[in-house]
Amino acid sequence: MKKEVKSSVPADSEIVLGILNDSKETLSRLYISYFPMVLQLVLKNSGNEDDAKDVFQESVIVLYNKVKAGNFELNSKLKTFLYSVCRRLWLKRLNEQSKTTRNIQDFSEIIAVEDDLEKHEEKDRQFELMESALIQLGEPCKTIIEDYYIHNRSMQEICEKFGYTNADNAKTQKYKCLQRLKKLFFQT
């Protein structure tokens, strides 16, 4: 029994095609999917929601212009690209404000964009490796691990679902599955 997970985050290619076709729906999906990440970035770095909206809008314009000009080459995930553009725009704006007001707090708390971008790309890579390892793991291990760690089901619920005699047996099976998953994850 295969379950398909539908994601509300559009595929990168869908976004690029939507921009090329002047799709308003694409722009609204882009906003819904990625604005929360930008809002968090700006709020954590001396900004407010209006600042985040401005920065995000500017980044969408950058993306739009690059795609329309035909010189857009995506070397990372679109999420990473947008985050990087927003971060640079926000740092530039903070820098301009500090020159005029001198009230901006310590800039040493703001991580260099390249470092942050590398962390995001590394996390994306690790998620892809984990997804691949889970697929290789097979059943029932894949479902047991997903039920416990993703769906927060108790060992008793897992025991009943898979017909184990007691929760301890289910726990032992989960442990064995987890060991196999770790082995698959670290060998890739």
Domain holding 162, by residue range, is: 113-188
Between CA 128 and CA 123 the distance in angstroms is 9
Residue where a domain stops, chosen among 81, 110, 139: 110
Task: Report pLDDT for 172.
Answer: 93
Same-domain pairing of 76 and 135: no
Between CA 146 and CA 128 the distance in angstroms is 15
Task: Report pLDDT for 23.
Answer: 83
Same-domain pairing of 93 and 31: yes
Mean pLDDT (the chain, rounded): 81
Same-domain pairing of 54 and 99: yes
Same-domain pairing of 44 and 99: yes
Q: What is the pLDDT of residues 86-105, one digit of tens each?
A: 888 888 888 887 765 444 44
Give me the helix-helix angle, 49-69 and 24-44, nearest 10°: 130
pTM of the model: 0.51
Q: How confident is the model at residue 5 (pLDDT cuts 50, 70, 90)?
A: very low
Task: Report pLDDT for 151.
Answer: 84
Same-domain pairing of 13 and 97: yes
Is the Cβ–Cβ distance between 141 and 180 less than 8 Å? yes
Sequence-separated (6 or more) residues with CB below 8 Å from residue 56: 31, 34, 35, 38, 39, 82, 86
Is the Cβ–Cβ distance between 174 and 142 less than 8 Å? no
Task: Report pLDDT for 127.
Answer: 81
Phi and psi (nearest 5°) for 3?
Answer: -110, 135
CATH of the domain at 151: 1.10.10
Between CA 149 and CA 137 the distance in angstroms is 15
Question: If you average pLDDT over each of 2-6, 35-39, 112-116, 131-135, which comes out highest?
Answer: 35-39
Comparing 38-42, 69-73, 109-113, the range with the smallest average pLDDT is: 109-113
Burial of 72 (0-12, 13-18, 19+ CB in 10 A): middle
Task: Report pLDDT for 27.
Answer: 83
Same-domain pairing of 120 and 180: yes
CATH of the domain at 73: 1.10.1740.10
Same-domain pairing of 62 and 126: no
Q: What is the pLDDT of residues 108-158, one digit of tens each?
A: 455 555 566 677 778 778 888 888 888 898 889 999 988 888 888 899 999
Same-domain pairing of 102 and 180: no
Task: Name the strand (E) or helix (H) holding 115.
Answer: helix 113-137
Count: domains in the chain? 2
